[in-house]
Amino acid sequence: MALVDIAVRQALLSHCRQRVGAVVTAGPRILALSPNLRRNDPAVDHRHATFHAEEAAVRRARRTVGAEVWVGRVNRAGRPVLARPCPRCQLTLARAGITRAHYTTDHAGVETLIIPVRTQGERYRCFV
Number of alpha helices (DSSP H) and beta strands (DSSP E) in the chain: 3, 8
Element (H, E) at 114: strand 110-114
pLDDT at 17: 86
Residue-by-residue pLDDT tens, the chain, 128 positions: 699 999 999 999 998 889 999 999 999 999 999 999 987 666 666 666 788 999 999 999 999 999 999 999 999 999 999 999 999 999 999 999 999 999 999 877 999 999 987 655 555 555 54
pLDDT at 48: 66
Question: Phi and psi (nearest 5°) for 78?
Answer: 85, 15
Its sign, for the CA torsion 127, 10, 69, 71, is negative
pLDDT at 65: 94
Question: Phi and psi (nearest 5°) for 79?
Answer: -95, 145
pLDDT at 71: 98
pTM as predicted: 0.86
pLDDT at 107: 79
